[in-house]
Structure 1
Amino acid sequence: MDFIEEIRERAKSFNKTIVYPRSSDSRVIKAARFLKDENLAYPVLIKDKADAAIPKDLDFIDPVSDQKLKQYAQRFYERRKHKGISESEALDIVKEPLFFGASMVATGDADGCVAGSVSTTGDVLRAAIQTIGLKPGSNVVSSIFLMSFDDGRVYTYGDCAVVPYPNEEQLATIAIDSAHTHQKVTGEAPKVAMLSFSTKGSAAHERIELVQNALEIVKSHNLDFAVDGELQFDAAIIPEIAQRKAPNSEVAGQAIVFIYPNLDAGNIAYKITERLAGATATGPIIQGLAKPMMDLSRGCSWEDIVNTACVCALM
């Protein structure tokens, strides 16, 4: 069984309710039908246009007329009134499908939300952060990509889509959240490498110090996973090089979770791994939220939407 098949099978056992805020997108409809037919999740589509066709075989919610609208709007108003919004403005905001879907997740009326096929990452994250909020212990919302290979290997890359230049506290949070995400989705104990262009002090630079400081923050939490840095990528993944560059490391040569120091490195790395090494990239998987809301690429396929929904169910 390959990785995608595995996460689909695991998602099936949870039977989670996943909402989709863009019902007029044919890819979303096709993915929802597949999820329902294969019993991978229970899909609920949120009507996003007055003239949107509603397939009779799928469950839809119209935010404008739904009985929960006022309850969601009041909750949103209480969360955001310090920003100066009125109750009527809160009502108008929550009518928007992204915010309505996020409200369903925030209140427990759905287990997760998958959005972004026709929305920007900024719009999806804004709805998620303002409505669901961050989980305890997180100071930033970030993302990972799961990079899977035909031989069964699965690596986690973070952050590759959200935080351009994290500070040391944010980088530490990204490392912790990425480790937890890897374990939730794959069932595998994470070994985390904090990456840099230096290995264990082989170079000196303020960008290296940022990674070193982030590592110390991670270690201060006394978490139950192995983490080390700063490591170059070859030292992190190749045992022979690890023996030369970091012989005393419990991660070097064995890492499966790779934390990049900035978005330049992470985004470039996952695309190189996908295009030159033939890996399948699943993501971006959003992490750091109190409850799961996933973001899709606007160029995604319906199969991508299915896979992201299954990951959402596992989280």
Structure 2
Amino acid sequence: MLDDLKEKVKGKKIRIVFTEGEDYRIQEAAVNLVKDDICVPVLLGKKDEIEATSKKYNFDLTGTDIIDPATYDNFPAMFDLMMKLRAGKITEDKANELLHQTNYFGTMLVKMGEADGLLGGATYSTADTVRPALQLIKCKPGNKIVSSCFLLIRGDEQLVFGDCGINIDPTASQLVDITIQTARSTKNFGKDPVVALLSFSTNGSAKGDDVTKMKECLAKLKEMPLDFPVDGEMQFDCAVNEDVAQKKFPSSKVAGHANTFIFPNISAGNIGYKIAARLGGFTAMGPLLQGLNAPINDLSRGCVWEEVYNNAIITANQTLMD
């Protein structure tokens, strides 16, 4: 599946911003992305520090684009646009300060069309990666919230989990948006989404606030003209195992066949994807942000270069998606 995604973007010279260009993991990923013709890595940071890292680790950064915010030629135009976008919410001094931070600077490069997507979070927190995107890139029309998903791959298996990284305790209405966004991501990754709304209960077998929330989410979804099957609430084993599904939820066409999983809250989602990755042998890519006007994605601060590389492939593909 990753090979298919690589082929879609090869040679297209898609420009992906990396907000932590001095980091050796980012640079090793960048070298391999250039070698495989996946994208043009745009490395942000102080030029001397980027070069010091490349010299220390013997990385050849030919084919990357190194940009230092302090010496960026188009800074005045970027500053003016920032002031327009944040009119009445920011002072000139604060705008200048933020634009010398690579998370804001990189997001503005995407906003100005000088890059196609952004990958950050190797040293920045999730909040520091997402906040500039919410303020400057903003939601696509028709999207009320930004959410996230993880793409999990093991051999020929491909699963999508949402929301594991952004919305802490979404309401039933927010879960509707998360479900639709995550199903769209599954489709964009080449699979027909079959969506399970997860819970500790299956089809009313237990009671609780999260059970009620997932039931309300399903009821709202059933009123909409969806182009994918969705059902719930159900436990994970029921969602993926046909034998269990026949015992617990025989009336459901989704149970036993799901490939897209919506969690009731961020705790369940975050724990779930990490168990799949650490014990289940899945490669996890994400969190991939959904609902924004441009691809802005987050890395774990514990990431290795291979994870940066894989997430860059996904980010590059997102630039080609609706």
TM-score, with structure 2 as normaliser: 0.90
* CA distance 1:149–1:78, change in 2 (3 Å): same
Partner letter of residue 19 of structure 1?
V
**Superposition CA RMSD, Å:** 1.9
- Asked whether 1:93 is paired with 2:91, we answer no
- Asked whether 1:20 is paired with 2:22, we answer no
* In 1, Cα distance between equivalents of 2:202 and 2:12: 41
- Asked whether 1:67 is paired with 2:66, we answer no
Which of 130, 134, 143 is the equivalent residue of 2:148? 143
* CA distance 1:311–1:212, change in 2 (3 Å): same
Partner letter of residue 62 of structure 1?
D
Partner letter of residue 105 of structure 1?
V
Residue in 2 aligned with 1:107? 112
- Asked whether 1:134 is paired with 2:139, we answer yes
- Number of residues of Structure 1 aligned to a counterpart in Structure 2: 310
Percent of residue pairs identical: 39
CA contact (8 A) 1:74 1:87 kept: no
Q: 1:196: Cα distance to partner?
A: 1.0
Which of 275, 284, 298 is the equivalent residue of 2:301? 298
CA contact (8 A) 2:104 2:132 kept: yes
Partner letter of residue 290 of structure 1?
N
- Asked whether 1:240 is paired with 2:246, we answer no
* In 2, Cα distance between equivalents of 1:269 and 1:20: 27
* In 2, Cα distance between equivalents of 1:222 and 1:82: 40
Partner letter of residue 3 of structure 2?
E
Partner letter of residue 296 of structure 1?
L
Q: 1:51: Cα distance to partner?
A: 4.4
CA contact (8 A) 2:40 2:65 kept: no
Q: 1:154: Cα distance to partner?
A: 0.7
Residue in 1 aligned with 2:222? 219
* In 2, Cα distance between equivalents of 1:111 and 1:215: 35
Which residues of structure 1 form unaligned runs of 5+? Answer: none
* CA distance 1:13–1:213, change in 2 (3 Å): farther
- Asked whether 1:172 is paired with 2:170, we answer no
Deviates more, 1:112-121 or 1:197-206: 197-206
* CA distance 1:136–1:300, change in 2 (3 Å): same
* In 1, Cα distance between equivalents of 2:12 and 2:224: 30
Which of 153, 157, 160 is the equivalent residue of 1:153? 157
* In 1, Cα distance between equivalents of 2:41 and 2:274: 30
Which of 188, 191, 196 is the equivalent residue of 1:184? 188
Q: Secondary structure at the match of 1:81?
A: coil
Q: 1:76: Cα distance to partner?
A: 1.9
CA contact (8 A) 1:69 1:95 kept: no
* CA distance 1:244–1:221, change in 2 (3 Å): same
Q: 1:33: Cα distance to partner?
A: 1.5
Residue in 1 aligned with 2:312? 309
Alpha-carbon deviations, 1:12-67, whole Å to 9, x = none? 26441111121111111121121112101111112246644276623211222223
TM-score, with structure 1 as normaliser: 0.92
Q: Secondary structure at the match of 2:70?
A: coil
Which residues of structure 2 form unaligned runs of 5+? Answer: 55-60
CA contact (8 A) 2:47 2:67 kept: no
Partner letter of residue 156 of structure 1?
V
